[in-house]
Structure 1
Amino acid sequence: MRAVAKQRMTSLAGVIATAAALQDVSAFAHSASSGWTYPPACCHGDPMTGECSSIPGTTVTPTPDGYVIILRPGDHRRVTHQDRYFVPYDSVIPSGDDNFHICLHPTEEHENCFFAPAETM
């Protein structure tokens, strides 16, 4: 009887692990404070540890070839020193709200995804 109970517990643990692995991929992303969800390919965390965040519009400067973004500590939760990013216009993703957003991954020196409000694109 003990062997049967142990086998059922092992099977139940396997079912739980499988269900967790098959959860919606959005579980690996997180939402902007305005409510829209960053694409899973851009965001590898949750609202507290995720690398995607809105940024002040004053940090973004359009140039003829793309956006220059200069972030300082306080502009994005992962930024610990001033960083400069360049994002060509053909790499910009439309924002789900009227704000600029950036995803920094795998470190703060690397821009993974950049979102701009539709009216600025």
Structure 2
Amino acid sequence: MASLAGVIATAAVLEDFSVFAHNAEAGWTYPPACCHGDLTTGECGKIPGSSVTPGPEGYVVILRPGDHQKVTHQDRYFVPYDAVIPSGDDNFHICLHPTEEHENCFFAPEEAM
């Protein structure tokens, strides 16, 4: 009985988190652990491929105002290859949380991985 209660509690928590996830422009959904808002105020969004540079250990991402809805000044992020999540389209995406200085999730197209 205890394990059934745990499953029900976990499902309830996941359902609550799904309220905060939102879809990318292409229609796929950012994982709830990555996104905590809607399309306008959410932390996740598509970024220009020109802002992403592959390196020996991972991606270097340099974002400027206008590249992402949360970016107000130039920011630099390093994302190790083992932390990259496949995107649901042919674009790069990033989730910035709790502030624009913190990369929470990074998505890359299949052909870039």
The TM tier, using the shorter chain, reads 0.7 to 0.9
Gap runs ≥5 in structure 1: 1-20
TM-score normalised per structure 2: 0.86
TM-score normalised per structure 1: 0.80
Partner of 1:57: 49
Deviations 1:60-114 (A, max 9, x none): 0000100000000000010000000000000000001000000000000000000
CA RMSD of aligned residues (A): 1.4
Task: Give the fraction of aligned pairs with identical amino acids, expressed as a percent.
Answer: 78
Partner of 1:16: none
Give the counterpart letter for 1:109 in structure 2.
E
**Per-residue deviation at 1:27?**
1.6
Matched position secondary structure for 1:67: strand
**Per-residue deviation at 1:52?**
0.1
Going by fraction, where is helix more abundant, 1 or 2?
A: 1
Q: 2:106 aligns with which of 105, 114, 117?
A: 114
Partner of 2:59: 67
- Number of residues paired by the alignment? 101
Deviations 1:16-35 (A, max 9, x none): xxxxx778332210000110
1:29 is the counterpart of 2:21 = yes
Which has the greater radius of gyration?
Answer: 1
Gap runs ≥5 in structure 2: 1-11
Partner of 1:9: none
